[in-house]
Structure 1
Amino acid sequence: MDTTAKATATTKQEILAAYEYRHATKVFDSSRKISEEDFGFILETGRLSPSSFGFEPWKFVIVQSMDIREKLLPYAWGAQKQLPTASHFMLILARLPRDMAADSEYIQGMMRDVQNLPPEIAGGKQKVYDVFLKSDFGLEGNERAIFEWGARQTYLALGNMMTAAAQIGIDSCPIEGFDKAKIEQVLTEEGIMDPAHFGIACMAAFGYRVNEPRGKTRQTAGQVVQWV
């Protein structure tokens, strides 16, 4: 086996080991904090994640204030143990339908200022995207469906951040167990979220485990993979 092949095999083993290591951590060691450098690395993997049309309909809010965490706690039944103990607690926000329309200021700005598309290319992409929303995915007129489509994009970033964390020995837990309306109310009242442009998609806790998990349980490859 040549050097390149050996390096590739090692990388594969390391990646699979990270997936075996990762589990939905319920209780973290509150005395251990993730370093600024390590969490910056995790955030960068989220920022660099793919999204449909490259429109990045997300915002990552890191809640380090214990006062804010306590205000979220009554409405986050799935984070009762994680909110008080996690080193870093993240709220992932998704853009609302008004921002995801093909002619919205946000989409136009993304194409012009972030993707640096020439006007004629941006115009063509806008037309394709508009057809996608209206016909291909049939989202037009269904605001909840449009929001959920945007929220699905945020899960790409979430998955990458959790995997990156596991690869450097940091634990995580994705969380959907919360009252969406109440959480958004708290975030709005605290001036953290602009309700005209964002809604909460999910939460994620990061830190270091207290207890070792039981063995990982998954369906077999034969049960979830189909070749045609």
Structure 2
Amino acid sequence: MNSSATKERVLEAFHFRHATKAFDPTRKISENDFRFILETGRLSPSSNGLEAWKFLVVQNSELREELRPFAYGAYNQLPTASHMVVILARKGLIPESPYIYEQLTKVKKYPAEMVRNNVGAWHEFFDSFHLDNERARTAWASKQTYIALGNMMTSAAMIGIDSCPIEGFVPDRVNEILEKRGLLGDDEYEVSVMVAFGYRAKEPRDKTRRTMEQVSEWI
């Protein structure tokens, strides 16, 4: 593999990517390309490998319209994006959580006895990050979703697909709409962030960023 060519290609993708405010509604992402994007989200790292997320691919036009009044940051993207993803964060994570036990034993393939014996270590971890209430634990899970978000946007840019991360929405109302449709499980999830994918309707202005010297320090 030519590392210089790979680095150049990655940087080209980062320069290509911008927060697309309106997409060309006549252009749709192929199923193969979008499954590639989702796969990069699925393969993303998460704290302790818990994968405390779920990706809702919202293609239902009625649901998009229902969300639109409460998603001001996605007002233009919801009707024009080829694909809209609502990323959910898992709630109710405690050391004794059935989800954690299942994830570690069934997915990570750790011995059940080892998992049970490490509950004390999990309590220490939760205490060290002050995860002593449900709000804090859900916020911790929500932080993990941004890793998957970034990876999906980067992988999309590398194949010429545009995206826009969206935090401009009313969480309580969005959760209410999703819960009404049975999309949050048994009170297992809540909305963390949204991201729209498609093809830009017009070219963006040149990318601007602070200098490397302003944003980094070598010690």
Q: Normalising TM by the smaller chain, what interval?
A: over 0.9
CA displacement 1:131-157 (0-9 Å, x = unmatched): 1111x11111x3222111100000000
Distance 1:11 1:105 in 2: 42
Decide which of 69, 80, 86 is 2:81's aligned counterpart: 86
Distance 2:121 2:160 in 1: 42
Q: Report matched runs for 1:42-121 at 5 Å.
A: 42-96=37-91, 98=92, 100-121=93-114
Structure 2: segments with no counterpart, 5+ residues: none
Q: CA RMSD in A?
A: 1.1
TM-superposed CA distance for 1:122, in Å, is 1.8
Hey, what does 2:14 align to over in structure 1? 19
Indicate the larger mover: 147-156 or 123-132: 123-132
The residue type paired with residue 160 of structure 2 is G
Q: 1:191 to 1:86 in 2, by over 3 A?
A: same
The residue type paired with residue 16 of structure 2 is Y
* Kept after mapping to 1: 8 A contact 2:130/2:136: no
Q: 1:173 to 1:195 in 2, by over 3 A?
A: farther
The residue type paired with residue 210 of structure 1 is A
Distance 1:129 1:94 in 2: 19
Q: 1:49 to 1:125 in 2, by over 3 A?
A: farther
Hey, what does 2:213 align to over in structure 1? 222
Count residues with an aligned counterpart. Answer: 219
Hey, what does 1:149 align to over in structure 2? 140
Distance 1:126 1:86 in 2: 44
Normalising by structure 1, we get a TM-score of 0.93
CA displacement 1:28-67 (0-9 Å, x = unmatched): 0000000000000000000000000000000000000101
Q: Report matched runs for 1:175-194 at 5 Å.
A: 175-194=166-185
Decide which of 176, 196, 203 is 2:194's aligned counterpart: 203
Distance 2:124 2:4 in 1: 43
Structure 1: segments with no counterpart, 5+ residues: none
TM-superposed CA distance for 1:124, in Å, is 4.7
Between the aligned residues of both structures, percent identity stands at 50
